[in-house]
Structure 1
């Protein structure tokens, strides 16, 4: 039997649960699918953007305000297109979140920001290309899509082991198919 797991959701603890729920519903477009109280007594809010998934994101009460570091490394959201990526950026700017780091990873276009509790969030969409990672070139999401695509393709082609995303996916599938 080949083991195969699909990541479907994740949860984090919040210092101010209500503020975080407001941000992720109002700005990020999630809907609340359930709420409750866990066995620890923490309030829990389940959220989704997909009617096939009861929850994709879960927020729990109880993160201490005086933690010496943020235990969340990164929350990443995969989007369906460059237009959607640009739309989220506009929504965040309209909500007053204007500090964004825009990055062309070659295999993805991304921007990064911090949610209301300082958790690093990545919004990204795939490109049609593969290039070895890490790769982090400048990206200007104010440029037209055609210009962004042409610049990314030129950058990817100039790096070693360039291939299309489709070829890369076939190579990964071959590796998965040969697992013991």
Structure 2
């Protein structure tokens, strides 16, 4: 099972972008992160289908980031065993990992496609009920060891 999980965009003005994706696209705001510099939105299928991160109005790249696509997250299963199998497949293919993170609500592997686009492959943690609690939103990102 592989399904599109979420997309992350760097935006200039968070309020303007949230209004667009909420009022025009029809997504619901789940919460804010990073001291109000990011917002998570969902259509209800998962904890977030869209993450918007504000980088401000400075012309050109801001803090090494560019406007637009940051990464695309693909949900690849429902267990750490599925993530371990995916990691083994990545290693067999000779593709380098950029990182592995425990986001509390999900556990992720990060890599680059042949053109340098960042791809996140992840599984959700079934012990975290993202529909009933939002404490995971402010949880620190931890290193993931598989």
Higher relative contact order (CA 8 A, sep 6+): 2
The TM-score with structure 2 as length reference comes to: 0.45
Structure 1 or 2: more helix by fraction: 1
| Rg comparison, structure with higher value | 1
The TM-score with structure 1 as length reference comes to: 0.37
Structure 1 or 2: more strand by fraction: 2
